[in-house]
Amino acid sequence: MKARGFRSFAKINLGLEVTGRLPSGYHELKTLFATLSLHDIIEIAPTRSGISVRSDHPGVPLDETNLAHRAAALLQRLSGRKGGVAIVIRKRIAVGGGLGGGSSNAATVLRALDRMWNLGLGLEGLIEPAKSLGADVPYFLFGGPALGLGRGDDIHPLDLRLDQKVLLVPGPGGVSTASVFRRFAERGGPPGAPSRIDSFLRKSLSPGTLRNDLERAALDESPALAEVARRVRRAGRSAGAVLSAMSGSGSSFFLLFGDAAERAGAIQELRDAGIASVRCSFLSRRAYQSRFEIAGC
Ligand code: C5P
């Protein structure tokens, strides 16, 4: 049966404050999510039964530990559907990069199967299933600029226009979210009092004040990451970046520029230091929704 194709976009966290610990053991956050144009492509074909996952990237698990696999199994269970799906993940988003790749894939499968199976769950009906798959999954039902509270899964879409040029530097990988949070807790928790939401958003968008409470812990966790951070910051400073920061729990960094010429300068400087970077742009919520399905795929 014919496959349909969907774009599964990456996110960055423009700012991330850890505000406490929840009874579940998870950390309580305040974060500003934004979607990037960088995306994986997910093809889904109906089959008679079962769920299979294939990928062009060796780092993607193909069994039931894959979040996209778990998302399909969950909707199959909730809807009582007998038919199965064959899922192909064409990876462009760095694996383990703090860009939400696996969570985005899971949300894409939820949205796509709601559509393909005519379940009529919609955004509202998919929120609880998304939360049960992981803290970053609900954000990808919305896309665009959004405030994340709670575990990062209580999503409040924001009317913010982000038009800076983005340069993404995929980190060396190998930094697990759970170990960064563990080290963060060992280091004594949040470095300062939590900000009010309005001041958090202002700081997250301004040079010099963006705060990612997980960065220190992630750099302690990986000396290779600390070296990339130094080089990225140096290139950003000399090329005139508005902002440079680590995304989420790492290991990717991003630089924001006012114009494309400055960004080109940073690409060259990073290349000279042996560091690859990816040019991309921010996506509005409207573009996120309208570019979801690939026509004629
Ligand atoms: O939800 P997800 O599986 O992406 O989280 C991975 C791990 O990161 C969790 O098991 C938990 O240890 C940690 N985490 C946390 N607080 C959050 C999100 C994740 O402590 N808000």
What is the secondary structure of 149-184 as a DSSP string? Answer: ETTTTEEEE-------EEEEE-------HHHHHHHH
Q: What are the pLDDT tens digits along the chain (297 aa)?
A: 789 999 999 999 999 999 999 999 999 999 999 999 999 999 999 999 999 999 999 999 999 999 999 999 999 999 999 899 999 999 999 888 889 999 999 999 999 999 999 999 999 999 999 999 999 999 999 999 999 999 999 999 999 999 999 999 998 877 889 999 999 999 988 877 888 999 999 999 887 889 999 999 999 999 999 999 999 999 999 999 999 999 999 889 999 999 999 999 999 999 999 999 999 999 999 999 999 999 876
Cα-to-centroid distance, 17 and ligand 1 (Å) = 14
> In this predicted structure, what is the pLDDT of residue 193?
84
- 3-class SS of residue 123: helix
> In this predicted structure, what is the pLDDT of residue 297?
65
251: preceding bond cis by omega (within 30 degrees): yes
Cα-to-centroid distance, 4 and ligand 1 (Å) = 31
The whole-angstrom separation of Cα 164 and Cα 260 is 9
> In this predicted structure, what is the pLDDT of residue 67?
98
> In this predicted structure, what is the pLDDT of residue 55?
98
Ligand 1 atom closest to Cα of 152? 21
The whole-angstrom separation of Cα 205 and Cα 34 is 11
> In this predicted structure, what is the pLDDT of residue 208?
82
Q: How many residues does the chain have?
A: 297
Phi (first) and psi of residue 90, to 5 degrees: -95, 105
Q: Is 11 in the pocket of ligand 1 (CB under 6 A)?
A: no
Q: Is 254 in the pocket of ligand 1 (CB under 6 A)?
A: no
Q: Is 135 in the pocket of ligand 1 (CB under 6 A)?
A: yes
The whole-angstrom separation of Cα 186 and Cα 2 is 51
Q: Is 213 in the pocket of ligand 1 (CB under 6 A)?
A: no
Helix (H) or strand (E) holding 17: strand 4-21
Q: Is 139 in the pocket of ligand 1 (CB under 6 A)?
A: no
**Plot region of 208 (φ>0 → left; ψ -120 to 50 → alpha; else → beta):** left
- Other C-beta atoms within 10 Å of 228: how many? 23
Supply the pTM of this predicted model.
Answer: 0.95
Cα-to-centroid distance, 136 and ligand 1 (Å) = 9
Ligand 1 atom closest to Cα of 22? 16
Residue nearest to atom 8 of ligand 1 (CA): 178
Cα-to-centroid distance, 248 and ligand 1 (Å) = 11
Q: Is 27 in the pocket of ligand 1 (CB under 6 A)?
A: yes
> In this predicted structure, what is the pLDDT of residue 261?
96
Catalytic residues: 11, 136
CA distance to 11, 22, 26, 96, 204, per residue, from 17 (Å)? 17, 14, 14, 20, 10
Cβ-proximal residues to 91 (8 Å cutoff; 6+ apart), any chain: 40, 55, 56, 57, 59, 60, 101
Retrieve residue 297's tokens.
Answer: 């795929």
Helix (H) or strand (E) holding 220: helix 215-221
> In this predicted structure, what is the pLDDT of residue 234?
93
